[in-house]
Amino acid sequence: MPESLKLGQQQVARLYEETSQKFLHPMLIVLLDVQTASSKTAFRQNAIANTTLANAQTYLVIGFLIVIVVSVLSLISIRKSLRNYTYELLDALRLIASGKLNGKITVRTKDEIGTIATLVNSFVTSSNNTLSLIKKDIDKLHLMVRVIHRPFQSPMMPYPISATKPGCCLIHSSYGKVC
């Protein structure tokens, strides 16, 4: 190879090195920095997204657990209050069935059990009114029987009418002896 060609190649190589050191290396460094920065940013964004997603899942699970706990506590509370009202209603109905019509059920709510309690109370009041009317009629009948069977002395009969059979009552009714 001729020497001038060698010299030309060496000058081109030196020029290439100078140019690459002045222009290409800084551009490559900038490009590498941009690529590194973008990958760091992407990594950070991915980490932030993962953290946000994990937090959202945690909040969702906590919210779901809160809803379950509140639902269970509400059901227990409603069941307990319904059970208490039902037992109170059953006790009052047992008293009524045994013949004691002086009890009343306290109405605390306006739901179905409150409506039943109100109806039972009105039934008891109506029954008490009917019984008091029957008792008044019985008292009137007793008075009428006493008036009718009042012993009187007749000139035809030497003894009173009520003394015909001592110890026996003349009139019997479905309410018992009337005398």
Nearest to 113 by CA among 90, 143, 94, 129: 90
Mean pLDDT: which of 45-49, 52-56, 113-117, 162-166 is highest?
52-56
Question: DSSP 3-state helix, strand, coil percentages of the chain (rounded to 5)?
Answer: 75, 5, 20
How much is the pLDDT for 58?
Answer: 93
Nearest to 146 by CA among 118, 107, 178, 124: 178
- Please state, as a whole number, how many other Cβ atoms lie within 10 Å of the Cβ of residue 85: 21
How much is the pLDDT for 43?
Answer: 75
Domain positions in the chain are 9-147
How much is the pLDDT for 68?
Answer: 97
Count Cβ neighbours within 10 Å for each residue of 154-178 and write b for 16 or more, e otherwise. Answer: eeeeeeeebeeeeeeeeeeeeeeeb
61 pLDDT tier (thresholds 50, 70, 90): very high
Token digits of residue 133: 């009317």
The per-residue pLDDT of the chain, averaged, comes to 76
Q: Are 125 and 105 in contact (CB under 8 A)?
A: no
> Which residues pair with residue 177 across a beta bridge?
172
More confident residue, 41 or 63: 63
74 pLDDT tier (thresholds 50, 70, 90): very high
CA–CA distances in Å: residue 9 to residues 6, 14, 17, 18, 138 = 5, 9, 12, 14, 145
Token digits of residue 115: 């409506």
How much is the pLDDT for 157?
Answer: 52
More confident residue, 167 or 140: 140
Looking at residue 167, what DSSP letter applies? T
pLDDT in tens, 122-166: 888 888 889 899 999 998 888 888 777 765 555 565 555 544 444
Q: Are 58 and 65 in contact (CB under 8 A)?
A: no
Q: What is the pTM of this model?
A: 0.40
